[in-house]
Amino acid sequence: MTFSEKMRDMLTKGMAASQEMLSKAASQAKTWGEMGALKVEIVQLRSQAEKLTAHLGAETYAALVERKDPSVSVDDPEIRDILGRISDLDKLVAEKEAEFRKLGGKESDLEGAGPGA
């Protein structure tokens, strides 16, 4: 094999290796982007749930203190609605967290991710 053939062979192998590395890097960057987007969604959903929890507390306070109701029940339409919305958000958070972990995210990456975390 001549020197030029050796150089051409080495360059061809080097380019193939570079293309493979670039492909892997692009794939990893896409995964990281998806994980980042999921983390933002999780933070937003947790924030919404926290606001609804505060609204639930305010509604409970209004019932017990302002309206002087003897008790608060899940049969109250306003309470039932708020609890349902919180439950829906909890399910969405769980789904997003499962997607995040499936992409390789760690539980510790979600700790401190937003309100209530």
Alpha-carbon torsion (19, 24, 28, 34), positive or negative:
positive
Domain span at residue 45 reads 3-110
Q: What is the pLDDT of residue 10?
A: 79
Q: What is the pLDDT of residue 23?
A: 79
Q: Is residue 35 part of a domain?
A: yes
> Residue 114 — pLDDT band, cuts 50, 70, 90?
low
Report d(CA 35, CA 89) in Å as an integer. Answer: 19
Q: What is the pLDDT of residue 115?
A: 56
6, 71 Cβ separation under 8 angstroms: no
Mean pLDDT of 33-42: 93
Number of domains in the chain: 1
Q: Is residue 117 part of a domain?
A: no
